Structure 1
Amino acid sequence: MTIEIKVPVLPESVADASIATWHVKVGDKVSRDQNLVDIETDKVVLEVVAPADGVVSEIFQAEGETVLGEQTIANFEEGEGAATAAPAQTSEKSNQPSGNKGESVEIKVPVLPESVADATIATWHVKPGEAISRDQNLVDIETDKVVLEVVAPADGSLSEILAPEGETVTGEQVIANFVAGSGASAAPAAPAAEASSEENDALSPSVRRLLAEKGLDASNIKGTGKGGRVTKEDVEKSLQAPAAKPAASSETAPVVALGNRTEKRVPMTRLRKTIATRLLEAKNSTAMLTTFNEVNMKPIMDLRKQYQESFEKRHGIRLGFMSFYVKAVTEALKRFPEVNASIDGDDICYHNYFDISIAVSTPRGLVTPVLKDTDSLGMAGIEGGIRALALKGRDGKLTMAEMQGGNFTITNGGVFGSLLSTPILNLPQSAILGMHKIQDRPMAVNGKVEILPMMYLALSYDHRIIDGKESVGFLVTIKEMLEDPTRLLLDV
């Protein structure tokens, strides 16, 4: 049976998207919920997964091509490839050379930045004795803002884990012992174990969401998909097994029974604790106020439609909304230096450079990587920079250098459907701009009613340093720039 693979429904504020990465080729055998393709919008990357076990028969849209919501991008033949997938994978793995037990290597925490005192062992992806290949991710180590990955120095196996999950560690601390060259000696068992590790590290979005909702750990669920992959059916089957459910949950968090209902307590991650602390500090230590305006997005939408194809052909990247937002904000910051300043004790520090934080939603929480020197970037440079930060945020690859600094923040809740919000300051910054859902509304234009794509703007600012006149003027400048994009080119 042929199934059409389509682009997901895009939010109203997102006009189109582009094919970022195909993870499969025509003829590849895939299992249900396996990620087929990453589709990139202005700010988020969407994953499209296989609807069932089967084979990709046709791919209509290549990487880099612009696509619309619900557009067919591939054909999928259900039920063709699951039967022979396991033997083929075993055969491929068995061709790897086996090695003898070699030298012992200490696995250490990476050197931490000066501003980071310690870190926490978040997740071990391997167990002692398990066959490991060179550059395979061994462990995630979480700091206040970023997650660091420690990879295997060579083929081999862990002989001992010295720092379990949840333990606080310091820079260059030894957390495990590794034996090089010993991982392939258990050749018959290694393919299944390694495949299981790889598959479980790449759970599909629907499975990850279901696990999070039900408070389950994927490592406690036996996967029946390709290579031991955990599928939605495996999770649902685990939920239906009353005897196994408490045992699986008790290792990660205590479950308290309240009659027919239960509660579960899970410790906050370091990143979530840091987010909570900083948001509370912003509310308690600043005189925060929010002012609003609205902008007609039709001129920008018309401009993008007119030049999208030639822009993408010349620069190799889509022209999105965020580049216009960043350009408009940069120009407004030049005109209102108070908004580009911050309070340091009893001093006001005016920044003569333009580094803008872009709020990015990741599986571990909200982060704000910094796009630096935006005054020197063209539209293509801004789009490329935002795309790189969004992909790194999704994959947990952001560095401390990319997270530090920033004089002003842009957050776009519109991609998730938010119509209006009051964003909270990103300390020590003095202002943050919230962009929202683009929605058709009846507007009075020259005495007549017209239906226009409108978007609310929200500027939250610290009233200790920014007065009402500056805040309103700043927001009006952004509105004027977005409603007449020619101003961005002519500097008027």
Structure 2
Amino acid sequence: MTDITIPNVGESVSEVTIAQWFKAVGDTVKKDEPLVELETDKAAQELVSPADGVLEEILVAEGENAEIGKLIARLGSGSGAKAADKGDAEVKAQTEAPSSDKSTGAGAGLDIVVPNVGESVSEVTVASWMVGVGDAVEKDQPIVELETDKAAQELVAPRSGVITVIVKAEGDIALVGDVLARLGESDSDPISSSPAKSAGGEGGAGGKLPDVPPTNTGSLPNEGVAMPAAAKIIRESGLDASAISGTGKGGRITKADALAAKANPPKAPAGAKPVPAAPKAPRNDGPREDRVRMTRIRQTIARRLKDAQNTAAMLTTYNEADMTAIMDMRSQYKELFIKRHGVKLGFMSFFVKACVQALKDVPSVNAEIDGTDIIYKNFYDISIAVGTEKGLVVPVLRDCDELSLGGIEKGIGALGAKARDGQLSMDDMSGGTFTISNGGVYGSLMSSPILNPPQSGILGMHKIQKRPVVINDEMVIRPMMYLALSYDHRIVDGKEAVTFLVRVKECLEDPERMLLDL
């Protein structure tokens, strides 16, 4: 008999929620086969079987919490025949979270509620519905996109069924535990007038469903497997989603897939009706103004940036770096680097390495203020500012001091792809110690970046521009970049800030010494 217990899933995490059992009592499992999905306040992860065997007993049901080290199941040897001995009722009781919803009609209704989407997050905005009332959905099919002040994420159907009512319309605010929609087994499962017991929150625990008329947001044919950003491109470009091959998880269509299809439209299947392109608005025949509600992410960006100005004693110091050495190195090793690492050698990896070296030399820039204490960080998790359609996001590249240039380029590429597809998690954007922002990709020649609280420093990169400079008393033309370091003067003195920026400049202008740790 093998005990299945909750492992240590991360620093400061003391308990998890059983999100989903992949196996039922009596099922035969193989070593390293996923058994259960565990959910924390930061992320979700799968727990795999430590050995071959049969799942003898499940002790913690879906939806229940379990502390680190708690026994949640037992694995024994056998052929899997115990499922029949225990009976379907016991298997179902142990592997499915009990539904306390009351409904009328042919099938049992299930309330779709706002889940716990992260630490300190109490409400979400319903960004977009991917299905409408009356639509049939499959288990794990994305049905709605929820937006918090930190990120956007999709909520999937907990089982197959039919959407019988949508309670929260697009743009509505919903608290954690609020009912979003009702999922029935058939079209005859209307919303119940009796109290529905959902997972907490006003309008949830022990109360009636909110008295909101059913809202059918509609859905595009064949668009159920497209992610929100991709669905928008498909709709506006008049593409046929069924003719696009998705490269995302489970074959879902990503934004990159939709953009590729827009550039080279696929042929629609035989007999398919063409989707008409969105009509273009006539010139000078529309309203002179459009009032659009700010997204939760945009509101948070605005609030955090203003809070940084109001709280920190923010100051910016400037310098410039000669990029000749790095540009020569990139040109010399361009093809070899791609063959070795599978990614291009960009500028950002050099800047990350230079900043890590400077942070080691000037620890106060890698620290933060907590009340009357200063917390010095002995690790180097660099936040990389990324512009997306929904605003600026700042995912974090972990332990950059332990990464090679190739590892940094791969990590930045992966975070950038997740940002563009709206797949960044809370964990991806929390815990950074220092930020790098590259305004040069948009043509910025010089700027003063605003701090990313609670961090004490942010480096602004800018456009590389050929300028005349004096070297050895001679005027020469060199590719130069202005550098800007904004810092919190409460914790970082002017001498330390200038030393930091000069150290970054030296590392960039002599990358061989930096890579040799000299």
Q: What TM-score does the superposition give when structure 2 sets the normalisation length?
A: 0.62
Matched, 1:351 2:385: no
TM-aligned CA deviation for residue 114 of structure 1: 2.3
Question: What amino acid maps onto 1:408 in structure 2?
Answer: F
Cα distance in 2, alignment partners of residues 462 and 168 from structure 1: 35
Tell me: CA distance 1:230–1:111, structure 2 relative to 1, closer, same or farther (3 Å).
farther
Cα distance in 2, alignment partners of residues 302 and 102 from structure 1: 68
> Which residue of 368, 378, 382 maps to 2:408?
382
Tell me: CA distance 1:409–1:206, structure 2 relative to 1, closer, same or farther (3 Å).
farther
Q: Which stretch has the larger CA shift, 104-113 or 304-313? A: 104-113
Aligned residues: 348
TM-aligned CA deviation for residue 486 of structure 1: 0.7
TM-aligned CA deviation for residue 484 of structure 1: 0.6
TM-aligned CA deviation for residue 133 of structure 1: 5.0
Cα distance in 2, alignment partners of residues 276 and 229 from structure 1: 38
Contact 1:155–1:181 (8 Å) recurs in 2: no
> Which residue of 264, 268, 290 maps to 2:316?
290
Question: What amino acid maps onto 2:468 in structure 1?
Answer: P
Question: What amino acid maps onto 1:305 in structure 2?
Answer: S
Partner of 2:482: helix, strand, or coil? strand
Q: What TM-score does the superposition give when structure 1 sets the normalisation length?
A: 0.66
Question: What amino acid maps onto 1:292 in structure 2?
Answer: Y
What is the correspondence of 1:85-484 to structure 2 with a 5 Å cutoff?
104-133=109-138, 135-153=140-158, 156-180=161-185, 193-195=220-222, 201-204=230-233, 231=277, 234-236=278-280, 238-239=281-282, 262-484=288-510
Tell me: CA distance 1:131–1:109, structure 2 relative to 1, closer, same or farther (3 Å).
same
Tell me: CA distance 1:283–1:376, structure 2 relative to 1, closer, same or farther (3 Å).
same
Cα distance in 1, alignment partners of residues 507 and 391 from structure 2: 31
Cα distance in 2, alignment partners of residues 290 and 339 from structure 1: 13
TM-aligned CA deviation for residue 110 of structure 1: 2.8
TM-aligned CA deviation for residue 134 of structure 1: 5.0
TM-aligned CA deviation for residue 130 of structure 1: 2.9
Contact 1:203–1:229 (8 Å) recurs in 2: no
Partner of 1:304: helix, strand, or coil? helix
Question: What amino acid maps onto 1:195 in structure 2?
Answer: N
Cα distance in 2, alignment partners of residues 139 and 315 from structure 1: 37
Tell me: CA distance 1:485–1:156, structure 2 relative to 1, closer, same or farther (3 Å).
same
Question: What amino acid maps onto 1:290 in structure 2?
Answer: T
Cα distance in 1, alignment partners of residues 122 and 310 from structure 2: 25
Partner of 1:476: helix, strand, or coil? helix
Contact 2:358–2:503 (8 Å) recurs in 1: yes
Question: What amino acid maps onto 1:194 in structure 2?
Answer: P
Tell me: CA distance 1:132–1:474, structure 2 relative to 1, closer, same or farther (3 Å).
same
For residues 173-201 of structure 1, what are the alpha-carbon distances to aligned partners after superposition, in whole Å with 9 as ceiling and x for unaligned? 3311223587xxxxxxxxx9423666784
Contact 1:439–1:454 (8 Å) recurs in 2: yes
Contact 1:154–1:180 (8 Å) recurs in 2: no
Tell me: CA distance 1:144–1:229, structure 2 relative to 1, closer, same or farther (3 Å).
farther
Higher-RCO chain (CA-CA 8 Å, sequence separation at least 6): 1
For residues 392-421 of structure 1, what are the alpha-carbon distances to aligned partners after superposition, in whole Å with 9 as ceiling and x for unaligned? 111110000111111110000111111110
Cα distance in 2, alignment partners of residues 288 and 458 from structure 1: 12
Cα distance in 1, alignment partners of residues 108 and 422 from structure 2: 31
Tell me: CA distance 1:114–1:264, structure 2 relative to 1, closer, same or farther (3 Å).
same
TM-aligned CA deviation for residue 137 of structure 1: 2.6
For residues 54-105 of structure 1, what are the alpha-carbon distances to aligned partners after superposition, in whole Å with 9 as ceiling and x for unaligned? xxxxxxxxxxxxxxxxxxxxxxxxxxxxxxxxxxxxxxxxxxxxxxx86644
Tell me: CA distance 1:419–1:137, structure 2 relative to 1, closer, same or farther (3 Å).
same
Structure 2: gaps of 5 or more residues: 1-105, 188-218, 238-266
TM-aligned CA deviation for residue 106 of structure 1: 3.0
Partner of 2:501: helix, strand, or coil? helix
Question: What amino acid maps onto 1:159 in structure 2?
Answer: T
For residues 185-225 of structure 1, what are the alpha-carbon distances to aligned partners after superposition, in whole Å with 9 as ceiling and x for unaligned? xxxxxxx94236667843449959xxxxxxxxxxxxxxxx9
Cα distance in 2, alignment partners of residues 228 and 159 from structure 1: 29
Cα distance in 2, alignment partners of residues 205 and 443 from structure 1: 50
Cα distance in 1, alignment partners of residues 462 and 235 from structure 2: 26
Question: What amino acid maps onto 1:178 in structure 2?
Answer: L
Cα distance in 2, alignment partners of residues 480 and 450 from structure 1: 19
Cα distance in 2, alignment partners of residues 193 and 267 from structure 1: 24
Structure 1: gaps of 5 or more residues: 1-100, 183-191, 209-224, 246-260
TM-aligned CA deviation for residue 337 of structure 1: 0.5
Contact 2:381–2:433 (8 Å) recurs in 1: yes
Tell me: CA distance 1:235–1:409, structure 2 relative to 1, closer, same or farther (3 Å).
farther
Cα distance in 1, alignment partners of residues 169 and 301 from structure 2: 24
Cα distance in 1, alignment partners of residues 274 and 449 from structure 2: 42
Tell me: CA distance 1:303–1:130, structure 2 relative to 1, closer, same or farther (3 Å).
same
Cα distance in 1, alignment partners of residues 107 and 474 from structure 2: 81
Contact 2:223–2:231 (8 Å) recurs in 1: no
Tell me: CA distance 1:124–1:449, structure 2 relative to 1, closer, same or farther (3 Å).
same
Root-mean-square deviation (Å): 2.7
Cα distance in 2, alignment partners of residues 472 and 324 from structure 1: 19
More helix by share: 1
Cα distance in 1, alignment partners of residues 366 and 416 from structure 2: 24
Instruction: Show the counterpart of 1:3.
Output: none
TM-aligned CA deviation for residue 170 of structure 1: 2.8
For residues 245-287 of structure 1, what are the alpha-carbon distances to aligned partners after superposition, in whole Å with 9 as ceiling and x for unaligned? 7xxxxxxxxxxxxxxx622322211111111111111111111
Question: What amino acid maps onto 1:333 in structure 2?
Answer: L
For residues 372-403 of structure 1, what are the alpha-carbon distances to aligned partners after superposition, in whole Å with 9 as ceiling and x for unaligned? 11111111211111111111111110000111
Partner of 1:465: helix, strand, or coil? coil
Contact 2:141–2:225 (8 Å) recurs in 1: no
Cα distance in 2, alignment partners of residues 452 and 316 from structure 1: 30
Question: What amino acid maps onto 1:341 in structure 2?
Answer: A
Contact 1:131–1:193 (8 Å) recurs in 2: no
Cα distance in 1, alignment partners of residues 234 and 315 from structure 2: 37
Question: What amino acid maps onto 1:128 in structure 2?
Answer: V
Cα distance in 2, alignment partners of residues 265 and 153 from structure 1: 36
Cα distance in 2, alignment partners of residues 163 and 196 from structure 1: 21
Question: What amino acid maps onto 1:366 in structure 2?
Answer: L
TM-aligned CA deviation for residue 459 of structure 1: 0.4
Cα distance in 2, alignment partners of residues 292 and 453 from structure 1: 17
